[in-house]
């Protein structure tokens, strides 16, 4: 492209008046239009005017999408500005035309910053930078930073990547992507949320597996729901005592992406002790026979999308039924700092099913997860206690297997909860009693 950016000026006519006054619908549509075109959303701000009308902007890594609506005329004025050639603004145009139920639209594309008319300024641009200077190519252009950002309305995580998106496919369940980050290696994301990276995935996978395996040493059969990246089964299969490990992953694209670009996590998919099933984990649990598994690990994403059904009392009750009398359930249980409401709610659910004294929380530090503090649950159907384990065996195993995070001291320390976590769990229990 012989310009710095593409700017499309759009007018949408005969739109749904109701939709043109629905600020939530408009913001969601604008964000989705950016993401559908392959843009990286940084932030968005929208305002509803009285008595009607909406204005807003979606800031993207590649520039912006902006809108103002006149519901009384069923009309919207939109501009779509993208820098470079990695994002096609016409994809956003088509998406918004459908989202606003527009009868017809008119548009004009401008090429902004014609390179033939530009020349580099001799001014010291590096003096304006708040970071180290970026490299300058032979033709005088600047190699710009490219960032992946996972965010909600209150917090964000940004990781710089090479600009090389290794994998991007939409399954019937979610968008599966792999980015080549500079600090954490290849990174798997689902619907824009970080699942794992090459540099720190071992923390999650070692803690979700070795804590229960050294606390429940009689386990012979293990089931993993989710975990299509392969890291959890990789760690489980280090334990020779396990005769059978079953992995049930709903999305085959997750498995495909990790085989291609995160081979360290996907290394155990060919293990003869692994029974790999691509199907719905909820259905599998519902159809599973009573008392089938000694250990069930729910290695789910956050409670949205295909993982939403894995955060219900009905599902956990079925897991309880599928455990042997001494069986143990392990789950990732969110960040107590980032998602306190969900954190408290799921622990109250576990306690109702397993019993107040049978549910334990433990923590690990995972830099690329929101707030860096992540929790796991240990719920025992029988008398298994997570702090009653063979320290010598755990120490020997950690050394022989070359583990990077788990050891006998970490096992014990993980259950030493900060006061704010204790208060969350205690207050949740008290609220349940008072209700």
Residues 30 and 59 in one domain: yes
Does residue 111 surpass a pLDDT of 70? yes
Answer yes or no: is 120 within a domain.
Answer: no
Phi, psi angles (nearest 5°) of residue 173:
-110, -30
3-class secondary structure, 192: coil
Output the six-digit token pair for 49: 């005017």
Higher pLDDT, 91 or 146: 91
Highest mean pLDDT among 40-44, 82-86, 363-367: 363-367
Residues 185 and 211 in one domain: no
Confidence of residue 115 (pLDDT cuts 50, 70, 90): confident
Mean pLDDT score of the chain: 90
Output the six-digit token pair for 359: 């549910």
Residues 138 and 275 in one domain: no
Residues 149 and 228 in one domain: no
Confidence of residue 153 (pLDDT cuts 50, 70, 90): low
Question: What's the whole-number mean pLDDT along residues 210-236?
Answer: 97
What pLDDT score was predicted for residue 302? 60
Q: Find the helix or strand (DSSP H, E) in which 59 lies.
A: strand 54-60
Does residue 434 surpass a pLDDT of 50? no
pLDDT tens digits along 17-52: 999 999 989 999 999 999 999 998 888 899 988 889
Residues 225 and 313 in one domain: yes
Beta bridge partners of 277: 248
What pLDDT score was predicted for residue 5? 92
Among 7, 29, 64, 83, the one annotated catalytic: 83
Residue 29 a catalytic site member: no
Does residue 125 surpass a pLDDT of 70? no
156-165, 202-211, 272-281: the lowest-pLDDT one: 156-165
Strands 221-226 and 244-249: parallel
Question: What does the angle CA 390 – CA 394 – CA 398 come to, to the nearest 5 degrees?
Answer: 175
Residues 65 and 134 in one domain: no
Answer yes or no: is 327 within a domain.
Answer: yes
Residues 211 and 179 in one domain: no
Counting every residue written for the chain, the total comes to 435
Q: Find the helix or strand (DSSP H, E) in which 69 lies.
A: strand 63-70
CATH of the domain at 365: 3.40.50.150
Measure the CA–CA gap between 62 and 305, rounded to whole angstroms: 27
CATH of the domain at 62: 3.60.90.10
Answer yes or no: is 121 within a domain.
Answer: no
> Residues within the annotated binding site for spermidine?
205, 229, 299-302
Question: What's the whole-number mean pLDDT along residues 333-361?
Answer: 93
What pLDDT score was predicted for residue 148? 78
Confidence of residue 118 (pLDDT cuts 50, 70, 90): confident
Can you tell me which residue has the tokens 């600047």? 142
Q: Find the helix or strand (DSSP H, E) in which 5 lies.
A: strand 3-13
CB 62 within 8 A of CB 84: yes
Highest mean pLDDT among 81-85, 238-242, 312-316: 238-242
Q: Say how many domains are in the chain.
A: 3
Residues 267 and 235 in one domain: yes
Does residue 431 surpass a pLDDT of 70? no
Residues 146 and 220 in one domain: no
Among 63, 102, 375, 380, the one annotated catalytic: 63
Measure the CA–CA gap between 140 and 56, rounded to whole angstroms: 35
Answer yes or no: is 122 within a domain.
Answer: no
What pLDDT score was predicted for residue 127? 62
Strands (E), 121-239: 146-151, 156-170, 175-181, 185-190, 193-197, 221-226
Residue 348 burial by Cβ neighbours in a 10 Å radius (0-12, 13-18, 19+) = middle
Q: pLDDT over 90 for what percent of the chain?
A: 75
Q: pLDDT over 70 for what percent of the chain?
A: 89
Does residue 432 surpass a pLDDT of 70? no
Answer yes or no: is 325 within a domain.
Answer: yes
Question: What's the whole-number mean pLDDT along residues 74-86?
Answer: 92
Residue 299 a catalytic site member: yes
Does residue 133 surpass a pLDDT of 80? no
> Residues within the annotated binding site?
174, 205, 229, 249, 280-281, 299-302, 306
219-223, 227-231, 338-342: the lowest-pLDDT one: 338-342
Residues 349 and 271 in one domain: yes
Measure the CA–CA gap between 288 and 346, rounded to whole angstroms: 23
Output the six-digit token pair for 337: 């700092």
Does residue 129 surpass a pLDDT of 60? no
Higher pLDDT, 123 or 55: 55
Does residue 188 surpass a pLDDT of 60? yes
Cα 132 to chain centroid distance, Å, stands at 30
Residues 380 and 316 in one domain: yes
Measure the CA–CA gap between 350 and 348, rounded to whole angstroms: 5
Measure the CA–CA gap between 209 and 18, rounded to whole angstroms: 51
Does residue 366 surpass a pLDDT of 90? yes
> Residues within the annotated binding site for S-methyl-5'-thioadenosine?
174, 249, 280-281, 306
Domain of residue 70 covers 3-115
Among 299, 333, 335, 411, the one annotated catalytic: 299
Last residue of a domain, one of 139, 161, 195: 195
Answer yes or no: is 270 within a domain.
Answer: yes
Among 25, 48, 68, 239, the one annotated catalytic: 68
Question: What's the whole-number mean pLDDT along residues 244-268?
Answer: 97
Strands 274-278 and 244-249: parallel
Residue 287 a catalytic site member: no
3-class secondary structure, 278: strand
């Amino acid at each position: 492209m012989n310009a710095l950016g593409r700017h499309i000026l759009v007018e949408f006519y005969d739109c749904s008046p109701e939709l043109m006054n629905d600020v939530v619908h408009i913001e969601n549509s604008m964000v989705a239009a950016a993401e559908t075109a392959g843009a990286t959303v940084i932030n968005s701000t929208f305002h509803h005017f009285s008595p009607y009308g909406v204005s807003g902007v979606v800031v993207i890594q590649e520039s912006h999408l902006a809108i103002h609506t006149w519901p009384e005329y069923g009309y919207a004025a939109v501009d779509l500005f993208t820098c470079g050639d990695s994002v096609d603004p016409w994809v956003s145009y088509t998406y918004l035309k459908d989202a606003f139920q527009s009868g017809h639209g008119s548009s004009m594309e401008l090429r902004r910053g014609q390179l033939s008319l530009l020349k580099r300024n001799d001014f010291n641009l590096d003096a304006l930078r708040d970071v180290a200077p970026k490299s300058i190519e032979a033709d005088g252009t600047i190699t710009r930073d490219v960032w992946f950002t996972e965010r909600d309305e209150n917090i964000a995580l940004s990781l710089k990547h090479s600009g090389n998106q290794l994998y991007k496919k939409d399954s019937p369940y979610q968008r599966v992507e792999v980015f080549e980050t500079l600090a954490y290696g290849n990174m798997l994301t689902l619907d824009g949320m970080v699942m794992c990276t090459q540099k720190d995935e071992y923390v999650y996978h070692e803690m979700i597996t070795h804590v229960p395996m050294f606390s429940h040493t009689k386990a012979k059969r293990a089931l993993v729901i989710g975990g299509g990246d392969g890291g959890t089964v990789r760690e489980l299969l280090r334990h020779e005592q396990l005769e059978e490990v079953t992995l049930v992953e709903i999305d085959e694209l997750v498995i495909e992406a990790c085989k291609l670009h995160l081979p360290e996590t996907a290394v155990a998919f060919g293990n003869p002790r692994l029974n790999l099933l691509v199907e719905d984990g909820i259905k599998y649990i519902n159809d599973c026979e009573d008392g089938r598994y000694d250990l069930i690990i729910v290695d789910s994403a956050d409670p949205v999308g295909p993982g939403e059904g894995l955060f219900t009392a009905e599902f956990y009750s079925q897991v309880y039924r599928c455990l042997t009398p001494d069986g143990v359930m392990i789950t990732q249980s969110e960040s107590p700092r980032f998602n306190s409401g969900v954190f408290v709610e799921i622990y109250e659910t576990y306690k109702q099913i397993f019993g107040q004294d049978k549910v334990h929380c433990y923590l690990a530090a995972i830099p690329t997860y929101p707030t860096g503090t992540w929790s796991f649950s240990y719920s025992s159907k029988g008398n298994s206690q997570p702090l009653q384990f063979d320290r010598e065996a755990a120490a020997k195993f950690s050394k022989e297997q070359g583990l990077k995070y788990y050891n006998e001291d970490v096992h014990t320390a993980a259950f030493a909860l900060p006061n704010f976590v204790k208060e969350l769990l205690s207050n949740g229990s008290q609220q349940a009693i008072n209700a």
